Amino acid sequence: MSDSQLSATRAPSAGVSLFHYASPQTFFPLAGKLLWPSWIAAVALTLAGLYTGFFIAPTDATQGDSYRIIFIHVPAAWMSMVVYLAMAFWCAVGLVFNTRLSFMMSSALAPTGALWAFVALWTGALWGKPTWGTYWAWDARMTSELILFFLYCGYMALQAAIDDPRRADRAGALIAIVGAVNVPIIYFSVKWWNTLHQGASVSLTQSPSMASTMLTGMLLMALAAWAYTIAVALMRVRAIMIERERQTDWVRQLATGETKA
């Protein structure tokens, strides 16, 4: 057999391998296997991060102990942006490749992203009162983060208002993709405008501007937020799969215990 014939015979199997988990039926058991390790990592990292941030990290010289809210605020703000970009990515993949699972992943991520945005806004207000003397100021970063929260809510509300899941997915995808332009505005707002927020304490191009124990607590909480987001998204996407695919044979077999979860 020639090299060209050999490559031609191998091409289909490579394609099947690449898109193997693009089907809800094949992704469902994988999500189940990843679920508990994600929860265990989330709990362990949260306990380690909170202990480091609240009991080991030193008191800040200027803000006192009130600064410790950053161990929740900063990871929440990071994740609110990351989750939205992930949501927009899955929407784009769904529109381009017309894959049901992509839209399901986007729908599964939206509530958790909205939660992170709300936590970021809420903890930011609690931090702002002792630090800036006010719970809220309409500066660029606060306002753009609030817009991000409304984008999450708008995405979920639009999907809930349309009965046909396919039409709801495509309508929501437009909001998610267009709204992604708000994420770089949030990130660069402290550089583009004069805001109350300080510059980034952690950067890929500069040394950290905080004590090592503070940085350790921050990174542990960020990893905990990642693990929690993955765990909750996997739980939610499995529920969405069962709801949307309930008329298929594989869900009926799952209900009767004929297939493994």
CA-CA distance, 98 to 77, in Å (whole number)?
31
- What is the tally of structural domains in the chain? 1
Q: Which two tokens stand for residue 17?
A: 């391998």
**C-alpha distances in Å from residue 71, one per residue of 52, 61, 225:** 9, 17, 11
**One pLDDT digit (tens) per residue for the chain, 261 residues:** 444 444 443 444 444 454 666 778 888 899 999 999 999 999 999 999 999 999 998 887 777 777 788 899 999 999 999 999 999 999 999 999 888 899 999 999 999 999 999 999 999 888 888 777 788 888 888 899 999 999 999 999 999 999 999 999 999 999 999 999 999 998 887 777 666 665 555 554 455 556 788 889 999 999 999 999 999 999 999 999 989 888 877 778 777 765 555
Establish if 66 belongs to a structural domain.
no
Is this structure's pTM higher than 0.75? yes
CB atoms within 10 A of CB 138: 7
Establish if 242 belongs to a structural domain.
yes
- Measuring CA to CA, which residue among 254, 94, 252 is closest to residue 176? 94
Establish if 84 belongs to a structural domain.
yes
Residue-level pLDDT at 111:
97
CA-CA distance, 52 to 46, in Å (whole number)?
10
Question: Cβ-count burial of 219 within 10 angstroms (0-12 exposed, 13-18 middle, 19+ buried)?
Answer: middle
CA-CA distance, 25 to 14, in Å (whole number)?
19
260 φ/ψ angles, rounded to the nearest 5 degrees: -85, 140
Establish if 54 belongs to a structural domain.
no
Residue type, 205: T
Establish if 129 belongs to a structural domain.
yes
Establish if 130 belongs to a structural domain.
yes
How wide is the angle at C-alpha 58 spanned by C-alphas 54 and 60, nearest 5°?
Answer: 100
Establish if 212 belongs to a structural domain.
no
Domain that includes residue 134, residue range: 77-199+234-255
Establish if 29 belongs to a structural domain.
no
